[in-house]
Amino acid sequence: MRSLFIWMFIANIALTFVSLFVLPERVAIHFGPGGRADNWASNHFNALLMTAVHVVMFCAIYFNRRLVLLFPRKMINLPNREYWLSPANFDRAMGKMQDLLWNIGAVMFLLLFILGLLSLKANLSAPARLDEAALFTALGLFTVYIICWLVAYYRAFRIPAGQKAHAIQGSEKQKGR
């Protein structure tokens, strides 16, 4: 999934670059009810903003393992945190987390690519109008994916059946100190 994540990032950067050359100087950057454009910006600002969003998102996911090490473990939001962030399980937890992030990152970049295509199409029409049916279909499918991803996330970070008693005893010892 890592390679799909990287390819979807590259596709978004390429779409932003293409948009820079095919769109007019002033582009719609926000659409209101009925898909009508209601906020505008320069094409160059839009391209810079979208590139920044893509790069920040890419770096946050790609370098997640290194970023996690910058924070105290109590700030890491993870189911069964004490078990998974213990020295014995930390590497396995980070591997699971990275795999899950590759998956959601690829799908998020897919959504951004679809939104970029819809925005490109809208800005090439006169007047600029976003295809709301396509937008809501993409957002609906993304919502279904997020729900499935969350189920997979919580299942991935369950305490293994044979480890439950050990994990409970370990947390009781830590509370007793």
Query: Average pLDDT of the chain?
Result: 91
Mean pLDDT of 124-138: 95
Res. 77 pLDDT band, cuts 50 70 90: confident
Least confident range of 55-69, 95-109, 160-174:
160-174
Q: How high is the pLDDT of residue 66?
A: 86
User: Residues 74-102: what's their mean pLDDT?
Assistant: 92
Which tokens in the block code for residue 117? 């295509």
Left, alpha or beta for 35 (phi > 0: left; psi -120 to 50: alpha)? left
**Percent of the chain clearing pLDDT 70 (strictly above):** 92
- 3-class secondary structure, 40: strand
What value, to the nearest 5°, has the Cα angle with vertex 27 and ends 26 and 29?
135
Which of 7-11, 115-119, 136-140, 162-166 is the least confident region? 162-166
Per cent of the chain over pLDDT 90 is: 80
Burial class (CB in 10 A: 0-12, 13-18, 19+), 12: buried
Is residue 173 scored above 90 in pLDDT? no
pLDDT at position 83 over 60: yes
**What is the pLDDT averaged over residues 50-78?**
91
Domain positions in the chain are 2-176
